[in-house]
């Protein structure tokens, strides 16, 4: 999935390259502090709004991630506009994000309230994935050695986080740097994810471990619906 966001043209390209690669870098450089300030301001603008239209919600998210992809022109009515924007991320405030530009989100994702995303490295959220309340995505870390860590004067590093398509991340889950969660996974509430989770598994615990492989009983039906939106889901109430 390509990153559609506006990446700042940092003067200290070497420091930024180390950051993106997950190597030790200086996080309190003037440029990175300014980048975090921009994103923090965008988050605060979003978080203080009590009610918003679907279009306003989508635009706030674009501001947070500094997306280069504009929203489509407004439809004739608010109802039609909601349908027009249904593939855009639905995010509930409050949300807390470090940089924003390192978040790559697919279509039709949902992020519940009080999510924290430290996107020192790329954080990818696949299409149709759902993030529960109070979830923390930490693509950032610090040296274990206290002398190297050295407070705000020491270096930082990170690791990419990838959440595949059609995942459900339960409430209060924490995902650490370098983790890939495969397509179709469910991660149980309060789990701490320290290692990769294979596709189509349920994982729970601290640390999280796969406990069950999922049967894809509705795979053909869902693929048909995505290929042709006029196809409706089977009524399974009987």
Residues annotated as part of the active site: 142
Q: Which among 210, 178, 204, 177 is positioned nearest to 192, based on CA atoms?
A: 204
**Which tokens belong to 43?**
């988050």
**Which tokens belong to 49?**
């709004």
CA–CA separation, 183 and 181 (whole Å): 7
The number of CA neighbours under 13 Å toward the Cβ of 101 is 17
**Which tokens belong to 70?**
């504009």
CA–CA separation, 214 and 75 (whole Å): 40
CA–CA separation, 171 and 45 (whole Å): 24
CA-based max dimension of the chain: 64
């Amino acid at each position: 999935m390509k990153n559609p966001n506006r990446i700042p043209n940092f003067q200290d390209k070497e420091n930024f390259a180390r950051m993106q690669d997950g190597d030790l870098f200086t996080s309190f450089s003037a440029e990175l502090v300014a980048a975090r300030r921009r994103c923090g301001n965008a988050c605060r603008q979003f978080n203080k709004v009590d009610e918003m239209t679907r279009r306003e919600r989508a635009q706030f998210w674009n501001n947070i991630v500094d997306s280069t992809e504009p929203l489509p022109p407004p439809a004739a009515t608010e109802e039609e506009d909601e349908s027009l924007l249904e593939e855009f991320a639905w995010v509930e405030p409050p949300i807390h994000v470090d940089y924003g530009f390192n978040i790559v989100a697919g279509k039709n994702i949902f992020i519940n309230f009080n999510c924290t995303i430290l996107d020192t490295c790329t954080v990818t959220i696949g299409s149709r994935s759902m993030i529960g309340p109070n979830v923390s995505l930490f693509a950032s870390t610090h040296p274990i050695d206290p002398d190297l860590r050295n407070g705000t004067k020491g270096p930082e590093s990170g690791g990419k986080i990838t959440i595949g398509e059609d995942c459900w991340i339960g409430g209060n889950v924490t995902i650490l740097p370098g983790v890939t969660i495969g397509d179709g996974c469910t991660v149980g509430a309060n789990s701490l994810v320290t290692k990769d989770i294979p596709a189509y598994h349920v994982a729970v615990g601290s640390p999280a471990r796969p406990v069950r492989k999922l049967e894809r009983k509705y795979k053909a039906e869902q693929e048909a619906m995505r290929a042709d939106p006029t196809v409706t889901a089977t009524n399974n109430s009987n």
